[in-house]
Structure 1
Amino acid sequence: MGSDTDDQEKRIAALYYPPATSSSSSPTQPLLFKPPLHEPTSYPNPESDPTQFLQISYNSGHRPFKDLPFLILFLLVLLCTIGFGIFSIVHGNPNYGNLSSFTFDSRSASCVPASPNSASTVESFYYFLVNSLRSSGFTSGLIWAIVITVILTGPICFLLLFSLRHYTKYLVYASLPFFIVMPVFFNIYWFVACTVSSSCSDDLPLGYRIFVMSLIVVVIGVLVWVLVVNWYRVELTISIIGVAADALYKNLGLFVALPMLSFGLVVYYAPIVVFLVFARFNGKIVPKESNGEYHCGWKEDSWVPAYYTLGVVTLLWSSAIMMEAQVYVISGTIAQWYFSKNDSPPKRGIRTSLRNAFGPSSGSICFSGLIMFIVRMVRGAVDSAKRENSPGVVNLVLRTCANLFLSSIEFLNKFTINFVAITGEAYCTSARMTYELLKRNLLSAVLVEVISTRILAGITFVLSAVYAIVVCAILKGAMSLGTDAYYVAILAWLVLIVVLGFFVHVLDNVINTIYICYAIDRDRGEVYKSDVHEVYVHLPISRNQRPSLATDAVV
């Protein structure tokens, strides 16, 4: 075993470490620089020049609390939301649901109850909803399709992970043709179906159908062009996905912890949503004039709109915090596995990451969530301005610069939370460390993220589309639902693609974490996971440089 390990380390060293006397030992050397393979190579000695490498490693010891002001700010916002929510329940007006039973009394110039025993609006809506569901013809098919889809999502995700781990190359190459075939099939299918259907052909004339079909063909052509241009990167991406799938397979506990966090967010949301609903009950029934006639209307208390704003901010900020906490747990768990001496995951790795996420690093996660919340709010405002078609070149330039700036913040924040999980440092310190480590190879990280994400998204789309077609065929053949089968199949497709999208999100974060861990290894001159180094060493150092893993990819 010892000789095999030595041979493996020598093979890794021969890939990218230059000799100590070479000029490549300069601190300005790119992070993932790959020298010609024919040059003699050896490991650099970090102790000879302590300032050459940024000494970063996983902090498994005591972690002090960081960024406490942001944690205190979030807790203050949450406490205000809960406090005013309880106040809204206690001081709610029970007459809100009986507004229709009040009439205007001209003698007292006020609203008085006309039929006190009438049912409330909420109760009427409830009975209407129940009766609608009971009388619906496709309710049973919809329920069975959704339940079976939810049950099958687990085995489908595990099968996909197993395939990506052992048969990455075959799965990717088998899916690539479907990236083109599936859109072409749906494009032809909807065109023929709309032409045959008299109602659809009347609503959508032939000229419009041809225009939409041609537009989809152009989109498919762009997709083909993107695949052809980036074909030389596919081999490297396959190897990166395979390494990440293997790392995720060895930390399967994440598929228990992460859904539990999402479920916890839903439970956390429930009382806040109830508070927002009951906040509307705070007000009174007052006379209102319309076209010279008086009627009874509802007037909210002056503080209710402000509470709505506070509640929405709390919900959105909490959602962003939970997303960052999930990334933190993924990064912390994968980093513990990466920097462990053996290939098995460390004991209580997920528990340690959860304790750090909601303990010492909770302030940093709140800070990161606040940044992402602001970014999404600004991006929503920019997109809204774009939909309004604001004229002028200046507005176009401002929108472009804003989107570029927001994308840069999102990109930096994603790797910053990785550093927070690994080192336990404050957010700003981790952001600086992220910049210093990635500025020497920023484009390579972009290539890893973009290509792997697109391929994984394409695979999930193909799998979910095939599943939707099977569901539709079963429903049309077994239950004779007719056109309702299409709606049920679409809902089943949505459920599956959401779950598979979550799977891709987890795998993407694993890829990013391994990339950061590999970069830390390079800075320290160490090799913790040799199979990772054998793949990531082939990353290009510029956009125009082609990866060298064209023929000898490790799958």
Structure 2
Amino acid sequence: MADDYSPSSAEPLLSSKQISYPSPPPSSIVSEDNVDNDTEDQNITFNYGPRPFRDLPFSILFLVLLLSTFSFGIFSIVHRNPDASNVSSFAYSHNTTSCRHLISFSTTTTTTTSTTSSIKYLIWTLVVSLLLTGPLALSLLWLLRHYAKQLVYAMLPFFLLIPIFFNVYWFVACTVSSQCTHAFQLPYRILLLVFVFLIIGIVVWILVANWHRIELTVRIIGVASNALASNLGLFAVLPCLTFALLVYFVPIVVFLVFARFNGKIVPHESKQGSEGVVSCVWKQDPWVPAYYTLAILTMLWSAAAMVEAQVFVTSGTIAQWYFSKEHSRPSRSIRTSLRNAFGPSFGTVCFSGLLICVARVVRAAVDTAKREDAAPGIVSLILRCCVNALLSAVDFLNKFTINFAAITGEGYWSSAKMTYELLKRNLLSAVFVETVSTRILGGIIFVLSAVYAIAVCAVLKAVSNLGVDAYFVAILAGLLLIVVLGFFVHVLDNVIDTVYVCFAIDRDKGEVCKQEVHEVYVYLPISRNNRPSLATRTPLSV
């Protein structure tokens, strides 16, 4: 992996020197037999015109599943049994051989519980943290756009110092605490201490092994941040889509709660010693477990489809920015992407979400079976290998597919095929763009969240008497910041992938829509089967 883009000593890695490479693809890349088939691919660009509906059966299937979930959910509310929570007030009647309701007088006692200081501090801390996440994300975007190199190199030492600090701190704190020492003996503390240092050593090795790619990673992050900064509306639209998904889940959760109230109270005979005793028990209707399965599958598919829809909207918006003329901004780009995602390409989004959902469920089932089976047989091992290979194929297929569909409006299978051919024709890697950028961004998010958690803990220690609970509140505040900034990193990763596909389209047509993108993305790894010289990977001159 380290040799995929090693330039010669005569040219630095990120030289600003402009060397043109031929506009048409080399004859060795496109064979004569495939010239006619690739003619249509040569004209790939963003489709601004009306788009036909794609993958319509999957959108219909999703809507049928959705309507079934809501219809049976409403039925469960209407036909719920109000006696479901009063089973104890029923007794078996030998005269009628049925369960009858007993008249009982119950007294209710009202208890008041005062809100503890820990809960109040927790609520206020999370509220303040949530309000700060937006400005922090925008500030991080500004820093990555203008000072990406300085920020990355300044954060790299903290990738090691923060874990070392926490590792030593918990060890010393546990050693001086008699309660912790009694519960966690010294050999186990030393073992955990060494294990964490071993993980830190692996992180050091990863940094050293990829040190030559740090400069390229900084440039990639800077380009992606500039693209995202030019489309700041995504920061308002994408969280709104996530909030809409949560609102959409609320009635389904309500349906699941009321579904368990569908049934009846029936007699149940059980033996106590040598005599049989008849009691009254609650029996759910037979369709309730099936409805639980239906509703959970609908929620999983909806969540996966919403993730793919967010990728689609991000890709469509960034692609319109990429293919626009210099110093001009496309109008209503986000609105166009939203209309395409939930309109003509809704079936493609649903299909992609279904594949991702099935892959995740199958992977979780395989991992669970692996943990439960301590001594797997050869057949089980072979099945797991086949399943893992199939899931890897799905991940490979889905890579860049939804990005390409957002740009062209093609269906899922057509987008997968055309994307693979586009990258292969231009000697670009269809497997991986730049994973180091994701890891570095994740490290930056970890450092910022850890520093924020330490600051929150220090403030709570100074203004309150929470004691150990201050650590708990600070950890939750840090986790909240990780979730929000992690979403920011996820969006930035989608931007990197989209710009990569747009760069491939530019190379395929011998054009340059964004010169600053070509100056960076040209150094990304190329196909391992073809390694042209540096000159063929240098940006086009304009």
Same fold (TM over 0.5): yes
State the match for 2:154 in structure 1.
Answer: 174
State the match for 1:79 in structure 2.
Answer: 67
After TM superposition, give the deviation of residue 486 of structure 1 in Å. Answer: 0.9
Q: Counterparts of 1:431 and 1:492 in 2: how far apart (Å)?
A: 40
Q: Counterparts of 1:437 and 1:310 in 2: how far apart (Å)?
A: 39
The structure-2 alpha-carbon separation of the partners of 1:201 and 1:316, relative to structure 1 and needing over 3 Å to count, comes to: same
State the match for 1:191 in structure 2.
Answer: 171
State the match for 1:359 in structure 2.
Answer: 343
Secondary structure of the 2:324 match is: coil
Q: Is the 8 A contact 2:23 2:510 kept in 1?
A: no
State the match for 1:295 in structure 2.
Answer: 279
- Deviation per CA, 1:302-324, whole angstroms, max 9, x where unpaired? 00000000000110001111011
Q: Is the 8 A contact 2:423 2:429 kept in 1?
A: no
**The one of 220, 234, 252 aligned to 2:232:** 252
Secondary structure of the 1:252 match is: coil
Q: Counterparts of 1:242 and 1:335 in 2: how far apart (Å)?
A: 17
AA matched with 2:148: T
State the match for 2:422 in structure 1.
Answer: 437
State the match for 2:242 in structure 1.
Answer: 262
The structure-2 alpha-carbon separation of the partners of 1:93 and 1:253, relative to structure 1 and needing over 3 Å to count, comes to: same
Q: Are positions 1:145 and 2:121 aligned together?
A: no
Q: Counterparts of 1:416 and 1:229 in 2: how far apart (Å)?
A: 30
Q: Counterparts of 1:279 and 1:205 in 2: how far apart (Å)?
A: 48
Q: Is the 8 A contact 2:426 2:504 kept in 1?
A: no
- RMSD between aligned alpha carbons? 2.9
Q: Is the 8 A contact 2:428 2:504 kept in 1?
A: no
State the match for 1:314 in structure 2.
Answer: 298
Q: Counterparts of 2:340 and 2:107 in 1: how far apart (Å)?
A: 51
Q: Counterparts of 1:520 and 1:491 in 2: how far apart (Å)?
A: 44
After TM superposition, give the deviation of residue 395 of structure 1 in Å. Answer: 3.3
State the match for 2:492 in structure 1.
Answer: 507
- Deviation per CA, 1:250-298, whole angstroms, max 9, x where unpaired? 0000011101111111111111111111111100122334452443321
The structure-2 alpha-carbon separation of the partners of 1:441 and 1:142, relative to structure 1 and needing over 3 Å to count, comes to: farther
The structure-2 alpha-carbon separation of the partners of 1:444 and 1:174, relative to structure 1 and needing over 3 Å to count, comes to: farther
AA matched with 2:493: D
Secondary structure of the 2:42 match is: coil
Aligned residues: 514
After TM superposition, give the deviation of residue 439 of structure 1 in Å. Answer: 3.6
AA matched with 1:258: L
Q: Are positions 1:99 and 2:87 aligned together?
A: yes
Secondary structure of the 2:117 match is: coil
Q: Is the 8 A contact 1:150 1:495 kept in 2?
A: yes
The structure-2 alpha-carbon separation of the partners of 1:412 and 1:449, relative to structure 1 and needing over 3 Å to count, comes to: farther
The structure-2 alpha-carbon separation of the partners of 1:109 and 1:441, relative to structure 1 and needing over 3 Å to count, comes to: farther
**The one of 486, 495, 498 aligned to 2:480:** 495
AA matched with 2:449: S
Q: Counterparts of 1:390 and 1:353 in 2: how far apart (Å)?
A: 50
- Deviation per CA, 1:357-395, whole angstroms, max 9, x where unpaired? 110001111111111111111111111112113423553
Secondary structure of the 1:456 match is: helix
Q: Is the 8 A contact 1:320 1:370 kept in 2?
A: yes
AA matched with 1:509: N
Report the more deviating stretch, 242-251 or 181-190.
181-190
Q: Counterparts of 1:291 and 1:348 in 2: how far apart (Å)?
A: 72
Q: Counterparts of 1:56 and 1:361 in 2: how far apart (Å)?
A: 17
After TM superposition, give the deviation of residue 114 of structure 1 in Å. Answer: 3.2
AA matched with 1:433: M
Q: Are positions 1:112 and 2:100 aligned together?
A: yes
- Deviation per CA, 1:164-222, whole angstroms, max 9, x where unpaired? 00000011111111111111111111111111222222222111111111111111111
State the match for 1:467 in structure 2.
Answer: 452
**The one of 358, 361, 373 aligned to 1:374:** 358
**The one of 526, 533, 554 aligned to 2:511:** 526
The structure-2 alpha-carbon separation of the partners of 1:72 and 1:48, relative to structure 1 and needing over 3 Å to count, comes to: closer
Equivalence map 1:418-433=2 (5 Å): 418-433=403-418
Q: Counterparts of 1:497 and 1:439 in 2: how far apart (Å)?
A: 36
Secondary structure of the 1:461 match is: helix
- Deviation per CA, 1:451-475, whole angstroms, max 9, x where unpaired? 1111111100110111011111111
Q: Counterparts of 2:512 and 2:125 in 1: how far apart (Å)?
A: 48
Report the more deviating stretch, 193-202 or 370-379.
193-202
AA matched with 1:78: L
State the match for 2:29 in structure 1.
Answer: 28
State the match for 2:376 in structure 1.
Answer: 391
Moved segments of 4+, more than 6 Å: 47-50, 543-548
**The one of 473, 477, 480 aligned to 2:465:** 480
Percent identity between matched residues is 60
**The one of 321, 325, 346 aligned to 1:337:** 321
The structure-2 alpha-carbon separation of the partners of 1:394 and 1:228, relative to structure 1 and needing over 3 Å to count, comes to: farther
After TM superposition, give the deviation of residue 116 of structure 1 in Å. Answer: 5.3
State the match for 1:457 in structure 2.
Answer: 442
The structure-2 alpha-carbon separation of the partners of 1:19 and 1:82, relative to structure 1 and needing over 3 Å to count, comes to: closer
Q: Is the 8 A contact 2:345 2:409 kept in 1?
A: yes
Q: Is the 8 A contact 1:449 1:508 kept in 2?
A: no
- Any gaps of 5 or more consecutive residues in structure 1? 1-10, 31-46
Name the structure with the higher helix share: 1
Q: Is the 8 A contact 1:254 1:350 kept in 2?
A: yes
After TM superposition, give the deviation of residue 445 of structure 1 in Å. Answer: 5.7
Secondary structure of the 1:28 match is: coil
Q: Are positions 1:15 and 2:19 aligned together?
A: yes
Q: Counterparts of 1:543 and 1:465 in 2: how far apart (Å)?
A: 39
Report the more deviating stretch, 255-264 or 388-397.
388-397
State the match for 2:56 in structure 1.
Answer: 68
**The one of 303, 311, 324 aligned to 2:308:** 324
The structure-2 alpha-carbon separation of the partners of 1:296 and 1:510, relative to structure 1 and needing over 3 Å to count, comes to: same
Secondary structure of the 1:382 match is: helix
Q: Counterparts of 1:239 and 1:190 in 2: how far apart (Å)?
A: 37
TM-score normalised per structure 2: 0.88
State the match for 2:217 in structure 1.
Answer: 237
State the match for 1:39 in structure 2.
Answer: none
Q: Counterparts of 2:469 and 2:442 in 1: how far apart (Å)?
A: 28
After TM superposition, give the deviation of residue 100 of structure 1 in Å. Answer: 3.0
Q: Is the 8 A contact 1:15 1:537 kept in 2?
A: no
Q: Counterparts of 1:281 and 1:19 in 2: how far apart (Å)?
A: 68
The structure-2 alpha-carbon separation of the partners of 1:176 and 1:396, relative to structure 1 and needing over 3 Å to count, comes to: farther
TM-score normalised per structure 1: 0.86
AA matched with 2:210: N
Q: Is the 8 A contact 1:105 1:111 kept in 2?
A: yes
After TM superposition, give the deviation of residue 50 of structure 1 in Å. Answer: 7.8
Q: Is the 8 A contact 1:337 1:343 kept in 2?
A: no
